[in-house]
Structure 1
Amino acid sequence: MVDKALTTVTVGLLWHSLSSDNLGVGALTESQINICQAAALKAGVAVRFIVLGTAGGRWYPPIGVDVVYGGRPSFRQWLLGKSDFSRSLDKCDLILDIGEGDSFTDIYGIKRFTFLLISKLLVLAKRKPLILSPQTIGPFNSMPCRYAAAWVMRRADKVYARDSMSRRYLSSMGLDENAAEAIDVAFRLRFDKPDKRSEGKLQIGMNVSGLLFSGGYSGGNQFRLATDYPKLVRQLLARWSDNAELDVWLVPHVLPNNLPNDDDRVAIRTLATEFPGVRVAPDFSSPSEAKSFIASMDFFTGARMHACIAAFSSGVPVIPVAYSRKFNGLFSSLGYSYVADAVAHSTDVIEKFIVNGMEIRSELSAAVKRGNDHAFAQLAEYERELEVVFTQLGGRARTDPNGLMTGTQA
């Protein structure tokens, strides 16, 4: 509950979600809220949240948090003066835009880029403080998109890249003055580490990406992988599933009921039929529940980045299977070289790399620990920056004679 004695700062969480079937987006949102609450406590203010993003089939708001859903961005509704999104922005003192982690780019198509861009333009039109929270920036392959993105980011109060590759990309666009680097906020996702599931057996977790298994959103190897991903998964399961010393778990992390090409569970059901020796993880109700499950593994591999972050940040040795530069950028920023690049290497090379990773788990564990030390230090700095912002907003709320920054009710 909000302490009525404290000034309240209302934070709009743009392109976040607490109901997304992609638990990675949910992990970003839960973690962002955790960081904001810690920063607000140090700043001596209360904080409430308005989520401004896509909705899914779940609902996992953190307990005890003052949070509601606002309107979805719509440029047409804004022009007609009927925008719930615009009215939600009016209630916010600050906008944190996380771009669903990796959506501020034109590689997913001009329509999606335009949608992300317009939402930022509407925030700027309202003269609301705009911070782009840690995320992958770009690439912007079209010059008009690159120009428009640079124009918007130059006018943001701060732009945080979540990896050194994105930070360098910002520099190449001439965006250094208000840019900084901080790791993915999902490293701060809370979890419970359960006891071992089967005494004496090695617990192997494999996140199977339904998206890669079906060839991408459009099929036909959309991401131009050198690896035959379905073949890779089957070869690993053929190697591991009948080993009496192993418990092999198939772990979903994206669970949309209406998008079978993107649903990890669809691919997992197929594989569980082919390999009856494997075990299937449950349909998780929240990102924290998924991370708590993953944290019980002795070794993990996966092609959903936030499933791999869940493993890494809970201390589990992991081999991520990269299909885009967001993997390479993030894990290289942590000094972690144990990433299987499915764009660059063949199926057999990737299989051998993953199998070897399981054999040298202690080496991976040491690298994971070093990487986590770096990640948590970066997020501590991000939290301190938010503390400064909340302190400033709290001061303005107390001194503004017009009451413009009073943390209005959602």
Structure 2
Amino acid sequence: SDDTVIGLNVSGLLYFQCRDIGLETDYVELTRRLIDWALAKPNVKLMLIPHVIRNEDKPRWWRREQYVGDADDRAACRAAFEAWGGAKSDRICWLKGAHDAARVKYGIGRCDFFIGARMHSFIGATSQMIPGALLAYSKKAAGLSQLVGIGEAVVDLRTQSAEACVDAVDRLFESRQALRSKLQQRIPEIKSEVSDFFSEELAPLIYRCAGIDAPARTVESAASHSP
């Protein structure tokens, strides 16, 4: 398909408790505006994606009396879909089958551009080199986005109105190819750094704590990195 897929993570925490967090942005209004913004673009499909989900053998999240609290983003996704999306267009859906982390990350991986309210949903996108916007309500967001090489991706809900946030997301969407290029350069570097840390620094320490001899290659690698 030639359609561009935009993923929107709808946070149950922000959707149901945004007034308790002290944001400048009305998150529910922002969600509505983002849905309208995406559907106004030609050749775009929008997928609402939960990230925090309940782990239950027999989920009962679809019951309306459970549309409260921050324990399950699926409640927020469904509420937003029913309120603004479902009756408007066949170009919007929500990821109903997201019962575990693997399914959630697969859904994120189908996107061309991702808007994350949960910080770890944004990590799920950038780790797959998918450009996007991080809707930030914590100072941790800036450090994360800078780490992956796209510091400009932060949209601060603490200081901006819903209208300003949508404008910022739109600018990021229009520059998504440039963002993707930055991620394609930086993410492999991060993966290599993490791999080196585990194999060259952490593994020898674990062997030492366990009181067993480390494989020769691990010992040599650790020695080569000693000051």
| TM-score category (smaller protein) | 0.7 to 0.9
**Structure 2 counterpart SS, 1:224:** coil
Letter in 1 for 2:77: I
- Determine which of 177, 180, 192 is the counterpart of 1:362: 177
**Structure 2 counterpart SS, 1:351:** helix
The verdict on how the C-alpha distance between 1:286 and 1:204 changes in structure 2, with shifts beyond 3 A counting, is same
TM-score normalised by length of structure 2: 0.78
The verdict on how the C-alpha distance between 1:347 and 1:385 changes in structure 2, with shifts beyond 3 A counting, is same
In percent, how many aligned pairs have the same letter?
Answer: 28
Say yes or no: does 1:387 pair with 2:203.
yes
Alpha-carbon distance, 1:369 to partner: 2.1
Cα distance between partner residues in 1 of 2:103 and 2:17: 28
**Structure 1 counterpart SS, 2:20:** coil
Letter in 2 for 1:291: K
Q: Please tell me whether Structure 1 or Structure 2 has the larger radius of gyration of its CA atoms.
A: 1
Letter in 2 for 1:250: L
Say yes or no: does 1:222 pair with 2:20.
yes
Cα distance between partner residues in 2 of 1:341 and 1:281: 26
**Structure 1 counterpart SS, 2:123:** helix
The verdict on how the C-alpha distance between 1:259 and 1:279 changes in structure 2, with shifts beyond 3 A counting, is closer
Q: Contact (CA 8 Å) 1:236, 1:351: kept in 2 or not?
A: yes
- Any stretches of 5+ residues in structure 2 without a counterpart? 55-60, 214-227
Deviations 1:308-330 (A, max 9, x none): 11110001111110111121222
**Structure 2 counterpart SS, 1:315:** coil
Alpha-carbon distance, 1:242 to partner: 5.3
Name 1:206's counterpart in structure 2. 8
Name 2:80's counterpart in structure 1. 271
**Structure 2 counterpart SS, 1:381:** helix
Alpha-carbon distance, 1:259 to partner: 7.7
Letter in 2 for 1:370: Q
| Higher normalized helix content (fraction of residues) | 2
Cα distance between partner residues in 2 of 1:330 and 1:374: 15
Runs (4 or more) in structure 1 with deviation over 4 Å come to none
Name 2:225's counterpart in structure 1. none
Letter in 2 for 1:372: I
Say yes or no: does 1:334 pair with 2:148.
yes
**Structure 2 counterpart SS, 1:372:** helix
RMSD: 2.0
Name 1:286's counterpart in structure 2. 100
Letter in 2 for 1:390: I
Name 2:164's counterpart in structure 1. 349
Name 2:110's counterpart in structure 1. 296
TM-score normalised by length of structure 1: 0.45
Cα distance between partner residues in 1 of 2:201 and 2:102: 25
